[in-house]
Structure 1
Amino acid sequence: MRVIGLMSGTSYDAIDAAAADLRIEDDRIILTPLGMLSRPYSGQLRQDIANSLPPATTSMERVCRLDTGIGQEFAAVAGQAVEQLCGGHADLVVSHGQTVFHWVDGEEVRGTLQLGQPAWIAEATGTTVVSDLRSRDVAAGGQGAPLVSIVDALWLRDRPGTPVALNLGGIANITVITGEPIAFDTGPANALADAVVRELTGGRSTFDADGLMAWRGRIHPELFERLLAEPYYRRPAPKSTGKELFHLGYLAEAMAGLPEIAPDDLVATVTALTARTVADAVHAYGGTEVIAAGGGIRNPALMHRLAEELRGVPLLSTDELGLPSVAKEAYAFAVLGFLTVNGLGGTVPSCTGARHTSVLGSITPGVGALPIHQPPERMPTALRIDSADPGGV
Structure 2
Amino acid sequence: MRVVGLMSGTSYDAVDAAAADLTLDPDGATLRLVPLGMVSAPYEDTLRAALAAALPPAATTLADVCRLDTRIGRAFAALAARADRELCGGRAELVASHGQTVYHWADAGQVHGTLQLGSPAWIAEATGCPVVSDFRPRDVAAGGQGAPLVSLIDLMLLRGRPGTPAALNIGGIANLTALPPDGPPVAFDTGPGNALLDAAVRDLTDGRPGYDEDGALAAAGRVHHPLLHRLLAEPYYRLPAPKTTGKELFHPGHLRTALAPFPGLPPRDVLATLTRLTARTVADALRPLGATEVIASGGGTRNPVLMAMLREELPPDTALLTSDALGLLAAAKEAYAFAVLGFLTLHGLPGNAPDCTGARGPRVLGSLTPGRRPLRLPPAPARPPHALTIADALPPARDTDVAPGRDAAAR
What is the TM-score with the length of structure 2 in the denominator? 0.93
The CA deviation at 1:369 is 3.0
In structure 1, C-alpha distance between the alignment counterparts of 2:122 and 2:384, rounded to whole Å: 32
- In structure 2, the partner of 1:102 is 104
C-alpha deviation, 1:188, in angstroms: 0.1
- Identify the match of residue 225 of structure 1 among 204, 224, 229: 229
- Residues 140-183 of structure 1 deviation map (CA, whole Å, 9 limit, x = unaligned): 00000000000000111110000010000000000001242110
> Aligned AA for 1:308?
E
The aligned residue for residue 9 of structure 2 is: 9
Aligned twin of 1:59: 61
Which residue is equivalent to 1:170? 172
Aligned to 2:386: 381
Counterpart-to-counterpart distance in 2, 1:127 and 1:388: 27
Q: Structure 2 matches for 1:145-224, cutoff 5 A? A: 145-178=147-180, 179-224=183-228
**Partners of 2:393 and 2:137 in 1: CA distance:** 33
What is the rounded CA distance, in whole Å, between the counterparts of 1:283 and 1:389 in structure 2? 31
- Structure 1: unaligned runs, 5 residues or longer: none
Q: Does 1:280 align with 2:287?
A: no
- What's the secondary structure of 1:287's corresponding residue? coil
Per-residue deviation, 1:367: 1.1
C-alpha displacement of 1:252: 1.2
Cα distance in 2 for partners of 1:365, 1:32 equals 25
- 2:405 is aligned to none
Alpha-carbon offset, residue 209 of structure 1:
0.6
Cα 1:379/1:251, change in 2 over 3 Å: same
Matched AA of 1:189: G
The TM-score, its normalising length taken from structure 1, stands at 0.98
Answer 1 or 2: higher relative contact order, Cα 8 Å, separation at least 6: 2
- Looking at structure 2, the residues matched to 389 and 113 of structure 1 have their Cα atoms a distance apart, in angstroms, of 33
Are positions 1:320 and 2:325 aligned together? yes
Corresponding residue number in structure 2 for 1:246: 250
Once residues 305 and 208 of structure 1 are traced to their aligned partners in structure 2, the CA distance between those partners, rounded to angstroms, is: 15
Deviation at 1:204, TM superposition (A): 2.8
Alignment partner for residue 309 of structure 1, among 310, 313, 320? 313
**C-alpha separation in 2, matches of 1:225 and 1:388:** 44
Compute the RMSD of aligned alpha carbons: 1.3
Alignment of structure 1 residues 8-157 onto 2, 5 Å: 8-25=8-25, 26=27, 27-157=29-159
Q: CA separation in 2, counterparts of 1:370 and 1:310?
A: 49
Verify the 8 A CA contact 1:341 1:371 in the aligned structure 2.
no
3-state secondary structure, aligned to 1:30: strand
Post-superposition offset of 1:33: 0.3
1:171-224 Cα distance to aligned partner (Å, 9 max, x none): 000000124211000000000000110122334341001101110111111110
Structure 1 counterpart of 2:255, which letter?
A: L
Aligned length: 391
Looking at structure 1, the residues matched to 104 and 209 of structure 2 have their Cα atoms a distance apart, in angstroms, of 26
Specify the code of the residue in structure 2 equivalent to 1:338: F
Deviations 1:274-301 (A, max 9, x none): 0000001110110001000000000011
What displacement does 1:89 show?
1.7
Q: Which runs of 5+ in 2 are unaligned?
A: 399-411
Partner secondary structure for residue 44 of structure 1: helix
Query: Which segment is superposed worse, 141-150 or 305-314?
Result: 305-314
After TM superposition, where is structure 1 displaced by more than 6 Å over at least 4 residues in a row? none
CA distance in 1, matches of 2:326, 2:282: 21
Greater Cα offset, 244-253 or 184-193: 244-253
CA shift for structure 1 position 388: 4.8
Residues 146, 185 of structure 1: 8 Å contact kept: yes
